[in-house]
Amino acid sequence: MREITMPISDDVIRSLKVGEPVLLTGVMVTGRDAAHKWMIETFIKKTRPPQGDDEKVYQELKKLLNGSVIYHCGPVVAKDENGEYKFLAAGPTTSIREEPYQADVMKHFNVKGVIGKGGMGAKTLKGCQETPGVYFHAIGGAASFIAQSVKKVLGVYKLEFGTPEAMWVIEVKDFPVVVTMDAHGGSQHAVIDSSSQEVLDKLLREPY
């Protein structure tokens, strides 16, 4: 089991291979559909002008995401007796919805890792090779367990998107993931898709 601290260097990223289990420690940022769309439209493709505190948030995200990880997560969040945010559940959400955006976000912000479930497609895999970066698969259905890895909520951006879609800055320790897309073009998801298609084709060819 590899133990890796964020921010992550290019050398460490390139040393990771598909199938390798990893424990992540450090600071990462959550981001789902609304966040990715906002980043792309406002700061990467610039199809909409910045509004409100967008520029300030952008400058903070450039520092936070540089060498770090973005987590596809819609957390369940509450405030404790001290008025501080706490993650009650922090399970991964389906990543493929971010396929149109992810490679561009990775390259623009120098994001070294993406955490989610279900894998991503060819565009993101190419982005992993170019940035370089990796896709980390988290455990679906283990939201409460994963939340135990979140030691502190350091802040939140774009809360107007709603709690699940906001960008939460979290400090984690020993966050469990598995590398399923690496910086060398390896993708466990592509392998599974191919082998599953072969089985399906064989079944369809067999006589009743």
Region 2-205: CATH code: 3.20.130.10
DSSP 140-174: TT-HHHHHTTEEEEEEEE-GGG-TTTSEEEEEEEE
Lowest mean pLDDT among 93-107, 124-138, 161-175, 187-201: 187-201
Is the confidence at residue 69, as pLDDT, over 50? yes
pLDDT at 4: 98
Assess whether 36 carries a catalytic annotation. Answer: yes
My answer on whether omega of the bond before 50 falls inside 30° of 0, hence cis, is no
Residues in the chain: 208
Q: Distance (Å, rounded) from C-alpha 29 to C-alpha 158?
A: 12
pLDDT at 191: 45
Decide: 97 and 104 in contact? Cβ < 8 Å: no
Question: What is the arithmetic mean of pLDDT over 22-50?
Answer: 97
- Residue 204: pLDDT band (50, 70, 90) is low
Catalytic residue among 36, 72, 137, 189: 36
Which residue shows structure tokens 């910086």? 183
- Residue 199: pLDDT band (50, 70, 90) is very low
Query: pTM of this prediction?
Result: 0.90
Write down the domain spans for the chain: 2-205
- 155 exposed, middle or buried (CB, 10 Å; 0-12, 13-18, 19+)? middle
pLDDT at 195: 47
30-63 CB burial, b ≥16 within 10 A, e <16: bbbbbbbbbbbebbeeeeeeeeeebeebbebbee
Is the confidence at residue 97, as pLDDT, over 80? yes
